[in-house]
Chain A
Amino acid sequence: MQPAIAVRELTKTYAEGAASVPALRGVDLEVHPGELVMLVGPSGSGKTTLLSIMGCILSPTSGSVRIAGKETGQMTEKELPQIRLEHIGFVFQGFNLFPTLTAGENVELMLDLKGVRGPAAARRAQELLAQVGLGGKYASFPSDLSGGQKQRVAIARALAGDPEIVLADEPTASLDSHTGRTVMEMMRDLAHERGRAVVIVTHDARVMEFADRTIRIEDGLIAPSAGESASGRDVPLEHIRPHFGEYVHNWLTPQPAQ
């Protein structure tokens, strides 16, 4: 099966004044449809850079990036938005909902970008919100929603583009444990039941059990200890714990339900 995402010998170097700072130093990675992959590692290790390049919002310095079989590494600034629109959905740590639009309109915005407008867009937005358990929240503004509800709206919005790939950056970091689990169950369903390739950058040890595969990034490289989860190869908890101390603490501390 063709991978949804395939990166080869990927490097990214940032210029800081006269100095060059390597963020990625030769990363090879494939993510297949139906797979939920987590990128973990310490801050500054290159996770978000890798996610940004896979999301086609950042160009690599060198290497190959194939999204749904299309080589995007050398695409122009004008071509990349089309790839994002056609193939990729994003879920952000801070939800990134448009505060001046209702939940339904937030979803409709994505549909509008895909060319679906008018009553058809409103119907589809309603359906998507219902799928994430927010059928009655179409007219609610983000400020009237809880953190978990906001993230579910963001997931509905990501799904509105019907993407093969969903990239999420710390999707549970702003949520309590119960809500975080609910969101992660949705992300897992996206992969396992809908066949999406899901990549999640996280520091949150609470959600590791949902990963099919966990990739640890250190100093711009995939660390040799990377493995799979219960459904595949595993990353031993002792490898993860040093990076997630505060989250493990949170995980063990019961949080109020959303």
Chain B
Amino acid sequence: MPPLARRNLFHDKIRLTVTLTGIVFAVVLIVVELGLFVGFTVTTSSLVDHSGADLWVTSKHVPYVELGVPFSERKLYQVRAVPGVADAQKLIVRWTDWKRPDGRQESVQIVGINPDDPMPMPWNLVAGSVADLKKPDAVIMDEVYKEKLGVKELGELFEIRGKRARIVGFTRGIRSFTTSPYVFATFKRAQEYASINDDQTVFILVKVAPGADLKQVQANIADSVKDVEVFTSSEFSRMTQFYWMFTTGAGVAVLLAAVLGLVVGFVVVAQTIYATTMDHLKEFGTLKAMGAPNRYVYKVILTQAAISAVLGYALGMVVSAFVVHASQKGGAAILLPWQMAIGMFFLTLLMCTGAALVSISKVTRLDPAMVFKG
């Protein structure tokens, strides 16, 4: 078959530029909006998802991870005694105040952990180690918040709720959904930073013994320990995501933006592909007059759309990668997981071929007389 589809695309460089610009714009728009949505979702529950725990024990009626209510740490021993529990550790997540060197106050979320516990928190360390948290007044924070918290380098001293804090490590990519960065410290020090009684914890994280039934252990803890609720990590993650997503305006706005991104992206692609087909309407009419069956004409149009999709996707992803990379240094987390990158390819292909199908209906209804007019 003569390369009609490819030539139709590449012959007119200006038209090609317009077509690809439309598709690239749509790809970037959708990637950014969906990336923001994914970033939003992942960020809201990142602490829960990276905890490595199987179960979260909370006081009653805790809607999401940032709103834990302290309870007696004696319940830790009750939890450890439940059959099927391999290990249980205390965890604090609590809002508190950070004082910058210039005297300005910033809100942070202190995360109190046991540095000797195999729990993978904090993760993605780029400076220092978890063991460094055992040093006096040690805290670890994410490098993205250096400017916000007035931090320049390791070893600097700050105040958290009037108590001394020394930077011993930096992480990368541990973002908080709220404007308050996570700051990691030992459990004991976190109790002081968050003004929690020294016999209280906010959460208990449970590792279930190998071979034990997760749901059964969850039920056992709920039965054995009074005045607590027990969630699997995935349940607590979903609760946290759902809270931010649907009970705050921010979540709905991001969701709406993602949906609008999809719609606008599709409309842009549809317009672009439709216009490309319409540019060659007379030629498709000639093809039909020559005796080409409809499927031959459709093949040309769909091939055009598919080539446009592949090129537009490739260029769009290059631009998107720059945007995503730039966002890592900014306040908004735009994530582009590989699943989304692959899904975006098929979505682009679907949008382009779908738009081509719309234009095909126009070709199908071509007025035969048009081929007999100069």
Taking Cβ atoms with an 8 Å cutoff, the residues of A that contact B are 48-49, 51-52, 55, 57-58, 78, 81-86, 88, 90, 92-94, 96, 98-101, 105-106, 108-110, 112-113, 117, 157, 161, 169-170, 173-174, 201
Contact = CB atoms under 8 A, between A and B. Distances in A.
B371 interface: yes
B188 interface: no
8 contacts: A78-B294, A88-B291, A90-B289, A92-B372, A100-B4, A109-B4, A112-B1, A161-B290
A83 B294 CA distance: 14
Contact of A57 (B2, B7, B289, B293): B289
B134 interface: no
Contacts of A201: 372
Contacts of A170: 374
A192 B10 CA distance: 42
Interface stretch (B280-288, B322-330, B350-358): B280-288
Q: Is the interface of B mostly helix, strand, loop or mixed?
A: helix
Contacts of A100: 4, 7-8, 10-12
B292 interface: yes
B291 A169 contact: no
Q: Which 6 A-B pairs have the closest CB atoms?
A: A85-B291, A94-B374, A100-B7, A84-B291, A100-B11, A93-B374
Given A96-B282, A173-B374, A174-B374, A81 B291 contact: yes
A51 B371 CA distance: 11
Contacts of B296: 113
B368 A57 contact: yes
Contacts of A169: 372
A90 B371 contact: yes
Given A58-B368, A93-B372, A85 B2 contact: no
Contacts of A86: 291
A98 B11 CA distance: 11
Given A92-B372, A98-B7, 15 more contacts: A52-B368, A52-B372, A78-B293, A81-B288, A81-B292, A82-B293, A85-B291, A92-B371, A93-B373, A94-B373, A96-B371, A100-B4, A113-B296, A161-B291, A169-B372
B299 to A, nearest CB: 11
B373 A113 contact: no
Contacts of B371: 57, 90, 92, 96
B373 A105 contact: no
Contact of A84 (B3, B10, B11, B289): B289
A108 B2 CA distance: 7
A123 B373 CA distance: 31
Contacts of A81: 288, 291-294
Contact of A110 (B290, B293, B368): B290
A40 B199 CA distance: 106
Nearest to B5: A100
Contact of A113 (B3, B7, B282, B292): B292
A83 to B, nearest CB: 8
B369 interface: yes
Contacts of B290: 84-85, 90, 109-110, 113, 157, 161
A224 B114 CA distance: 108
Contacts of A157: 290
Interface string B337-374: 00000000000000000000000000000001101111
Contact of A51 (B288, B291, B372): B372
Interface string B260-288: 00000000000000000000001100111
A196 to B, nearest CB: 16
A100 to B, nearest CB: 4
B38 to A, nearest CB: 41
A205 B369 CA distance: 23
A214 B10 CA distance: 45
Contacts of A161: 290-291
Contacts of A105: 2-3
Given A81-B288, A100-B11, A174-B374, A117 B1 contact: yes
Contacts of B288: 57, 81
A96 B283 CA distance: 7
B185 to A, nearest CB: 67
A34 to B, nearest CB: 23
Nearest to B368: A57
A187 to B, nearest CB: 16
Given A57-B368, A109-B2, A117-B1, A92 B291 contact: no
Contacts of B287: 109
A122 to B, nearest CB: 10
Contacts of B4: 98, 100-101, 109
Interface in B8-62: 8, 10-12
Given A92-B374, A98-B4, A52 B291 contact: no
